[in-house]
A and B are shown apart, each in its own frame.
Chain A
Amino acid sequence: MSDIKKIKDDFLLKLKENLDLNQVNQIKTELFGKTGLISSQFKQLGKLAEDERKKFASDLNLVKNELENLITTKINDIETKEINKKLEKEKIDITLPERPFVRGKIHPVSQVIDEISSIFSEIGFSVEEGPDVENEYNNFTALNTPDNHPARDMHDTFYLDDAKKLLLRTHTSPVQIRTMLNDKPPFKIIAPGRTYRSDSDQTHTPMFHQVEGLHIDKNINMGHLKGCLNYFIKEFFEVDKIKMRFRPSHFPFTEPSAEVDIGYEIKDGKIVIGEGDKWLEVLGCGMVHPNVLKNVKVNPDEFQGYAFGIGIDRLAMLKYGINDLRAFFDCDYRWLNHFGFDPIDVPTNYRGLSR
């Protein structure tokens, strides 16, 4: 009995001292090792009489637990102190710059093409393409613009041969011709792409982008055209209401033809689309001319519908406040960085077109 008390008192005293981890572990071994003091006491249990044994065991266990707890606490304390000491040493200036990373950009024209595709996808248009080099027939003649027609003057055309049979397409409309020649109605397509006119000044570049739209079916009329464009413009500019004006115009390949203006105003030096009393021309459209349908072997008495052409670069400028068309094609690193879009910004219907 006194042995147990002595052990307890001695070691409580010892453990009160300022010990390091090794010393504590040594004490642990002294007490609980194979031949340790507490372990030895347990071995004596067998020699004791039945009645004494119970109490002895109980006392011994109490001491054992007390010392054990104390040692564990002591070890934890020391370890914590040591970790803290180590952490203290590892302290860095976290305001130093991170590892360098790169970030690419998508050109605003590409972004806007994706936005346009996404909007028209929702109402059932699919995307078609055509070659940049076209023949004179697809670009003009099939589109009811015969040779020596003054409407050809509206297009300053780049030619690839002296006979003027091969050219860079002046609009995306030849894709209408290709699509209709290759397939059977109904047609419901958009065709975005590069277009070319030999024109270069502040507001014209020799290459620019258009998106063509074509919807041919049995009963498609000007009301559908109006509805489609109204929907598109509203979705594109991400506004609830849009002021829009259809006014008569002329294109050889549509009859009747229209140009579409949208309302805008200038607020604090920025253009606001959809309100205001100024008008901005954004696109040309109309009902596909019966002559065009005949040229592509579609019966105009059975099928009719509309077509439209929109300047993509212009839309991008309006939506994203870009002033200078020429800068689109200048590849200035600063400009691309400023006006470009993050590649993860894929326009979608459910997440919205833009952030």
Chain B
Amino acid sequence: MKITTAWLKDHLDTKLNENQIIDKLTDIGLEVESVDSQSGELDEFVIAKILKAEKHPDADRLRVCDVDIGSGEPVKVVCGAPNAKEGLLTIYAPPGAVVPKSQMKLVVSKIRGVTSYGMLCSESELNLSNESDGITELLPEKYNKKIGENYFPKKNLNVIDISITPNRADCLGVRGIARDLAAAGAGILINQKEKKLDKKNKQTISVKIENEKNQACISFGSCLIKGVKNTESPEWLKDKIISLGQKPISAIVDITNYVMFDLNRPLHAYDVDKIDKGIVVRNSKKGETFEALDNKEYKLEDEMCVISDASGVLGLGGIIGGTKTGTELDTKNVLIESAYFSPRSIRKSSKILNIDTDAKFRFERGIDPLSIDQGLERAANLIQEICGGEVSEFDIQKIEDVKKKSLKFDPSLFEKITGFNIDTKEMITILDNLGFEIKENKGLLDVVIPSWRPDISQEVDVVEELVRIKGYDQIKTIEPEKVRKKQTLNLKQKLFHFLQRSIASKGYFEAITWSFTDSKINQLFIENNKEIKIINPISSDLNVLRSSIFSNLIIHLNKNLGRGFKDVSFFEIGPTFLGSEPGEQQTVATGLRSGKLARQSWLEKERLVDVFDVKSDVIKSLVEAGYNKDKLYIDDETPSYYHPGKSGRIFLNKGKEKVVAFFGDIHPGILKKLDIKVEALVGFEIFLDNLKKPKKSLKDQKTQYKYSDFQKSERDFAFVLDKNFKVQELMETISNVDKELIKSVKVFDVYEGTNIPEGKKSIALNVIIQSLDKTLTEDDLNKINQLIISAVESKTGAKIRS
């Protein structure tokens, strides 16, 4: 909502200066978004006289003018206007000025070889009127002595743009803002007295509101004004319209707009001679069409509130009028409409048709249903004053009576909500100034709510009015108590936190990417889940909820490759989506590593990142998060986006209840499809929802600790076994031989080739044996050796390598 201080002062008698008003507005909840100085832009447009106008040597239609701009030396301006002739008084804009209509900044330019310094302006270019056929012609008697002066008088036209919250429909008019300011002590609301209209005739155009189901129009007031001379608006009215950033059109249109912005009372003007018989306000039928004032043809659905006549739809009530009955400069007889339409219906229809107008914006927030007469009164007065004509009596049609709402207010609620107190007298004063009618009644207040405040319906709304006007700075600050009754994070949240920092500590950069992604890329990572489409995506490449975080990470990895980074480690921890119902999502930590380790190091041999790097990252992170490494169980069934031979999945134990992680090389086919050129790319996914609470909390794990001071022994073994046999099982078999004595099993060599039969591999292991009770003798050790060998040979079919 835009206002100027000057306009505000039509309604508010105030001693405050503009800055004080601006502060006050913000203090009472009418937030000032910006203050634009209009005068600055228009300062440079000066009154000028064409001294000489000659034909351009190279262009028949252009003239080269010598222009007196009051600076002594005439300037040369090339002008294409047919009316640019010697002696004409007009408006000149120098280089550097910004043309209001086009917002184009003028520069010194050569036009067909002749240098032009600035421009002579048409009325249209200055937003003064629609006249664009020639440059502005100023009356000599008025302007002859003003050459060189600013055309636009300095009016201190600061335009204050206020962000009006959706509840405050009443402040979409200058008067509503003035009322709020007055209540807050910024001045006195001026009681505007209308001139009494001489209503000579009856309103002879019949108006009927169809009393049908879901009729959105509750009342429709109208006034017929005959014999008007529609014209350009007078300066004061044009100024007001321009100050709102709108274009003056004609007196009648400008007046209806002015009343809307002044009183928050939308009106509509019809050219009576274009109405076919009378007006009927009714619900539309699907398929009806009309051409609206925005020059677009709209096709209507059922049950939209239309203003119609015998031949069809004239306009959408409260939203937009139609071209058929629009007023023009030659309009002789006008009908002014002042009606009330229900906010719901306005909103519904305008949403379907995608129309946004100032009237719609107001009606959908709820204008004052009791302002119908006031609107007609004001508009009729102004039209008669500017355009003449005879005013009819007002015709008010309605299908229901509107009554003011009221409620009982308990003054003690104020302190209960705000924490501070004001006395009841002051409450009554504030409410009275806001237009409430109040009666004290046994300690309670009987409050009648002003008809322009549809937002107020319960006691707490009254509290807000009071505290808003009193000032939020009056609210005391109560220091918070430092008491914690409940743990801040639950187990899942702690796990999230641990894993996040644990993964990052392994060299990964944490990324945050959109929860949505490109369907085409998502398809590569979707497995058996269904695709979850966004109905109204922000762009076609962000059109589905992500099934995996890989899609976004890979897109960004590729961008970083493009920036010249080859060795990239990223991870993101966040949601992936399994369905479109709330809760059908899981939390996944997903990482990607590309390129090499120790690239170009003088000290270490560089190598490509591989599956055992990510395996280590995942397992270490799980261990750091509190899971027992010795229990983890790994197999090789993984989704299709992993390399089928170089990937694995991890379970918390051999029971294989839920997959807690996948890791591996990304499938080369995906890299090919996405045209990603990378030396190596490995990744992992950890599923946080599948991570059960560790059986023992850390403090339980730490209560028991046994260690041995007896000598430990190491033995090395080499077994030859089937190539496909999993080493995990071999190690487990060895550990199980004697869990007390066997402290660790390590694989120190894997070999295939010479000396090893086809289809077999040799695994060399180091086993550490130690007793808690004694130093083991050579005999004891030999026994265990034999047990290990026989257990492995019998359970795995392996042979000890001699």
Which of A's residues lie within 8 Å of B, judged by CB? 96-97, 99-100, 102-107, 109-110, 114, 117, 120-127, 129, 131-135, 138, 148-151, 153-154, 158-162, 164, 166, 168, 188, 194, 196, 198-200, 206-207, 219, 221-224, 226-228, 230-231, 245-250, 255-259, 287, 289-290, 304, 328-334, 336-337, 340, 343-344, 346
* B568 contacts A333, C-beta separation under 8 Å: yes
Which B residues from 428 to 487 make CB contacts under 8 A with A? Answer: 458, 460-461, 463-464, 467-468, 472-473, 475-487
**What distance in Å separates the Cβ of B193 from its nearest Cβ neighbour in chain A?**
32
Say whether A126 contacts B510, CB under 8 Å.
Answer: no
Question: Which B residues lie within 8 Å of A107 (CB)?
Answer: 510-512
| A106-B501, A200-B538, A290-B458 known; A223 vs B29 contact (CB < 8 Å) | no
> Across the interface, do B512 and A329 meet the contact criterion of CB distance under 8 Å?
yes
A residues in contact with B535, CB < 8 Å: 158-162, 164
Please measure, in the bound complex, the distance between the C-alpha atom of A199 and the C-alpha atom of B537, giving whole angstroms.
Answer: 10
**A105 lies within 8 A of B510 (CB):** yes
B364 within 8 A of A: yes
On whether the beta carbons of B569 and A102 are closer than 8 Å, the reply is yes
Assess whether A160 is in contact with B602, with CB atoms less than 8 Å apart.
no
CB–CB A104/B503 < 8 A:
yes
Instruction: Find out whether the CB atom of B602 lies under 8 angstroms from the CB atom of A96.
Output: yes
Q: What's the Cα separation between A188 and B481 when bound, in Å? A: 12
| Contact, CB under 8 Å: A127 / B488 | yes
Minimum CB distance partner of B492 in chain A: A129
Counting chain B CB atoms within 10 Å of each CB, the highest count among A160, A207, A226 belongs to A160
A257 to chain B, nearest CB (A): 7
Minimum CB–CB distance for A245 against chain B, Å: 8
Contact in complex: A222, B575 (CB < 8 Å): no
- A256–B464 touching, CB < 8 Å: yes
Closest Cβ of chain A to B257, distance in Å, is 21
15 new A-B contacts at CB < 8 Å, known A126-B486, A224-B480: A96-B602, A96-B603, A121-B484, A151-B167, A153-B166, A154-B166, A196-B515, A206-B538, A207-B515, A221-B478, A222-B417, A222-B419, A223-B475, A331-B560, A343-B501
Q: Is the CB of B509 within 8 A of A340?
A: yes
B194: A residues at CB distance < 8 A: none
| B420 partner residues in chain A, CB cutoff 8 A | 223
Q: A106-B504, A223-B418 are in contact. Are A329 and B509 (CB under 8 A)?
A: no
B604 to chain A, nearest CB (A): 6
User: Does residue B247 face the partner (Cβ distance < 8 Å to A)?
Assistant: no
Write out the residue numbers on chain B whose beta carbons fall within 8 Å of the beta carbon of A153: 166
Instruction: List 8 A-B residue pairs with CB atoms under 8 Å apart, sorted by A's residue number.
Output: A102-B569, A123-B482, A160-B532, A230-B477, A248-B28, A287-B417, A333-B560, A333-B563
Contacts of B488 in A (CB 8 A): 117, 120-121, 125-127
| B796 is an interface residue with CB less than 8 A from chain A | no
Q: In whole angstroms, how far apart are the Cα atoms of A333 and B560 in the complex?
A: 7
Main secondary structure of the interface of A (DSSP, over half): mixed
State the CA gap A162–B604 with chains docked (Å).
58
Q: Does B583 contact A (CB under 8 A)?
A: yes
Choose among A129, A230, A343 the residue with the greatest number of B CB atoms under 10 Å from its CB: A343
In Å, the complex CA distance between A16 and B347 comes to 114
Q: Across the A-B interface, give the 9 residue pairs with the lowest CB-CB distance, nearest first.
A: A102-B507, A248-B29, A223-B419, A250-B165, A331-B556, A256-B464, A104-B504, A121-B488, A221-B419
Q: Do A131 and B582 form a contact, CB below 8 Å, given A194-B575, A331-B559?
A: yes
CB distance from A255 to the nearest CB of B (A): 5
Contact size range, B: 35 or more
Complex partner residue of B365 from A131, A150, A228, A340, CB under 8 angstroms: A150
Using Cβ atoms and an 8 Å threshold, which residues of chain B touch A148?
343-344, 347-348
Q: Is the CB of A99 within 8 A of B515?
A: no
- With a cutoff of 8 Å between Cβ atoms, the chain A residues found around residue B504 in the complex are 104-106, 343
In the complex, A109→B514 CA distance in Å?
13
Q: Are B478 and A223 in contact (CB under 8 A)?
A: yes
- The distance in angstroms between the C-alpha atoms of A120 and B489, with both chains bound, is 11
Which A residues lie within 8 Å of B479 (CB)?
Answer: 227, 231
Q: Which of A125, A168, A249 contacts B165 (CB 8 A)?
A: A249
Binary per-residue interface labels of chain B (157-174) against chain A in the complex, 1 for a CB within 8 Å, 0 otherwise:
000000001111000000
- Cα distance A92–B522 when bound, in Å? 53
Neighbouring A residues of B483 by C-beta, 8 Å: 123-124
A132 touches B478 (CB 8 A): no
Q: For chain B, residues 322 to 379, give those with C-beta under 8 angstroms from any C-beta of chain A.
A: 343-344, 347-348, 364-365
Interchain CB contact under 8 A, B476 and A226: yes
Residues of A within 8 A of B582 (CB): 131, 133-135, 138, 166
Q: Which residues of B contact A333 (CB under 8 A)?
A: 509, 560, 563, 565, 568
B531 to chain A, nearest CB (A): 11
Check if B506 is an interface residue, CB within 8 A of chain A: yes
Within the complex, what minimum Cβ distance (angstroms) separates A185 from chain B? 13
Residues 684-732 of B contacting A (Cβ, < 8 Å): none
Question: What's the least CB distance linking A89 to chain B, in Å?
Answer: 20
Whether B556 pairs with A255 at a CB distance below 8 angstroms is: no
Cβ-defined partner of B507 (8 Å) among A103, A117, A158, A258: A103
Check B651 for interface membership: any CB of A closer than 8 A: no
Instruction: Using known A-B contacts A133-B584, A160-B532, A257-B464, determine if residue A249 contacts B31 with beta carbons closer than 8 Å.
Output: yes
A196→B505 CA distance, assembly (Å): 30
Chain B residues near A343 (CB-CB < 8 A): 501-502, 504-505
Q: How far is the CA of A168 from the CA of B556 in the complex (A)?
A: 23
A256 x B533 contact (CB < 8 A): no
- Chain B residues with Cβ below 8 Å from A109 are 512
Beta-carbon nearest neighbor of A113 in chain B = B497
Q: A207-B514, A222-B419 are in contact. Are A337 and B480 (CB under 8 A)?
A: no
